[in-house]
Structure 1
Amino acid sequence: MASSSVKKAVADNTLNPSMCYNLSFFKELMKEYRRVDDNIMLRMNTTDTHSESACAAIFTELANAYHKREDAVNYCLKVIDQELDRKNKKLEEDPEDHNLKSNIYTEESKRRMISNELTVEDIVRERSLQVFRNKCRVFDIPADFEQFVNKRRY
């Protein structure tokens, strides 16, 4: 179950730098944003998949979730990159600062973990869209959305 602060962040659709540095919170936020994907089979089995409007409603939920997750990952990558830039400039001033080197390493590790969410995202999208396409054959996914989903594959 998501914590109340995660649910509030999801409801408010607000991101802030502290969310990016708390990896447990970030992972929980992503889990909450993936709830629509986690329940895709149940949704498809309880939806009139011969209705274009019903399929469009589910597609809209999926698309919104994809954008929210991608925005969250990109926001946190930007926040951490800015902090890394700042710390690397400080390191240039004092190359022997071992605490700063250690701190930079920690930041780089966080960045890798957050960046890995993009790979997870690709897998989640592929699985959800496969189920969606198989069940909602009456709905044509817009070409611009296909480009959005596939942009990291090429």
Structure 2
Amino acid sequence: MRTIDDRIVHELNTTIPTASFVGKIDAGQTCKELYQSLMDAHTSRERIIKNCIAQTSSVVKTLREEREKAQDDVALLKQLRKEQTKLKLMQSELNVEEVVNDRSWKVFNERCRIHYKPPKSQ
């Protein structure tokens, strides 16, 4: 899922020309395409993670309600704890996603700032 972020430095090194090759490659277009790829990947991953969080939160809520009715059910308690752990992991994944995104945008901006100016939405 994070292939583009994992390979951004390599991608920039192989697609953005050095000073001696500036005329042979349209760096502005390359940076624009990379910008769009990053935006799409980041938006997609965030949407997927948030969707998983919403689904797991719903399961946790349901299990909590069931737990209120059956306080002695050990299996239900184990399932609730398992789902709560899963929810915490997914929430921490959003923090990881933010760090990965920040790193990618920093590298992108360092290499593409003279070739492409992204819209102000980022």
TM-score (norm 2): 0.85
Cα offset, 1:96, TM superposition: 2.1
Cα offset, 1:142, TM superposition: 2.3
Cα distance between partner residues in 2 of 1:56 and 1:144: 14
Match of 2:33 among 29, 41, 57: 57
Instruction: Supply the AA of the counterpart residue of 1:42.
Output: H
Q: Name the SS for the 2:118 alignment partner.
A: coil
Residue 118 of structure 2 aligns with which residue?
141
Cα offset, 1:51, TM superposition: 2.3
- Kindly report structure 1 stretches of 4+ aligned residues shifted beyond 4 Å: none
Matches within 5 A, 1:26-105: 33-48=1-16, 51-105=27-81
Q: Write the deviation string for residues 87-108 of structure 1: whole angstroms up to 9, x where unpaired.
A: 1111121122222111111100
Instruction: Supply the AA of the counterpart residue of 1:141.
Output: P
Which runs of 5 or more structure 1 residues have no equivalent in the other structure? 1-32, 146-154
Aligned positions, number: 113
Q: Write the deviation string for residues 26-45 of structure 1: whole angstroms up to 9, x where unpaired.
A: xxxxxxx1000111011101
Establish whether residue 118 from structure 1 lines up as the match of residue 94 from structure 2: yes
- Amino-acid identity (%): 27
- Answer with 1 or 2: which has the greater Rg: 2
Cα offset, 1:65, TM superposition: 0.7
Asked which structure has the greater RCO (Cα within 8 Å, sep 6+), the reply is 2
Aligned-residue CA RMSD in angstroms? 1.4
TM-score (norm 1): 0.69
